[in-house]
Amino acid sequence: MRSITVKACSISLATTLILSAGCGPRRENITLVGSTAFQPFAEKLAEQYMAAHPEVSITIQGGGSALGIQSALSGAAQVGMADLVALPKEAAALKSLVVARDGIVVVLNPANAVQALTLEQVRGIFGGTVKNWKEVGGADHAIAVISREAGSGTRSSFEQIIGGIALTADALIQDSNGTIRETVANDAHAIGYLSHGLVNEKIKPVTVDGYACVEQDIKSGQYKLVRPVFLVYKHDVSPACSAFLEYLLSAEAQELLHTNGLIKAK
């Protein structure tokens, strides 16, 4: 009995020593938390930045826009990422910058014949008044509406832009852009929406009111489904953190965002 206790103690002591030794010289740690839509882009940028600046270590976490703002307020993270049409009131205590703009794309399964929808039709489908694909020029089959969970930044932006709908009670709910993509890719009669940068060949974007989610139509304001990506942070962030924020707005970082499907901040 005794020897087991001694062994257990020495093992845990050894583990503690190894763990603390592993940290080595202190590296400045920056944490970004929030939007799952911006998360993959932030990860790419952080990787690039860390390669050039080995003295900082940047952690990117998802969790949603609301969590991003909350974490920045509470100090759990230096920077919150939020992709909303407008920041909520509680974010007024924080500084914010727009790092990019992100188009929201309405997507269908590639097997679906429908290529274009009007904003009115999109509103009808997600509001539950349009229930069959034949009403919008497709096959005679019920529409499977797929949406994000309540509180998601993408969902609240989407609903605000298409104009104050109450999402149909029949909608399937998925909790990330990735699972929306998989569900639409798997169901020939599904319709969903997701961040423009995450569209791939397994799903098909449709035009809304005749405009596709491409840069020129976004910049001219003709493609309506666009929201800014905010970074929120406290007024007294560390110098390393503000250097990283500066990097995010640099030409190099903006170019990287652009090639990955986001719209530049300016």
Partner 1 sequence: MRLNGETVAKGVLTVVAFSALASLLLIAVFIFKEGFPFMLKVGVGDFLFASTWNPQVGQYGIYPMIVSSLYVTFGAMLIGAPLGIAGAIFMNEFLPRPLMRVIKPTIELLAGIPSVVFGFLGVMVLAPFIRTHLGGPGLSVLAASVILGVMVLPTVISISSDAIGAVPNSYREGALALGATRWQSVHMVTLKAARSGIIASVILAMGRALGETMAVIMVAGNTVRIPHAVTDPVRTLTANIALEMSNATGMAREALFATGVVLFVVIMILNAIALSAMKGRGGKR
**Residues in touch with partner 1 (CB under 8 A):** 1-2, 62-67, 70, 144, 149-152, 156, 166, 169-175, 179, 182-183, 186-187, 190
Q: Judge whether 193 and 106 are in contact, CB under 8 Å.
A: yes
Q: Closer to partner 1 at the Cβ: 198 or 253?
A: 198
Q: Closer to partner 1 at the Cβ: 116 or 128?
A: 128
Q: Judge whether 202 and 185 are in contact, CB under 8 Å.
A: yes
Q: Closer to partner 1 at the Cβ: 56 or 171?
A: 171
Q: Which of 230, 245, 253 is nearest to 38 (CA)?
A: 230
Give the integer Cα–Cα distance in Å for 49 and 61: 16
Give the integer Cα–Cα distance in Å for 91 and 173: 27
Min CB(115)–partner 1 separation in Å:
23
Min CB(220)–partner 1 separation in Å:
32
Distances (CA, A) of 170 to 81, 162, 183: 30, 18, 15
Min CB(81)–partner 1 separation in Å:
13
Q: Closer to partner 1 at the Cβ: 130 or 245?
A: 130
Min CB(207)–partner 1 separation in Å:
25
Determine the distance from the C-alpha atom of residue 79 to the mean position of all C-alpha atoms in its chain, rounded to a whole number.
15
Query: What radius of gyration do the chain's Cα atoms show?
Result: 22
Min CB(2)–partner 1 separation in Å:
6
Min CB(223)–partner 1 separation in Å:
26
Element (H, E) at 6: helix 2-22
Q: Judge whether 118 and 163 are in contact, CB under 8 Å.
A: no
Q: Closer to partner 1 at the Cβ: 151 or 210?
A: 151
CA angle 59/60/65 to nearest 5° reads 140
DSSP conformation class of 235: T
Min CB(246)–partner 1 separation in Å:
29
Torsion region of 86: left, alpha or beta (phi above 0 gives left; psi -120 to 50 gives alpha): beta
Give the integer Cα–Cα distance in Å for 1 and 7: 10
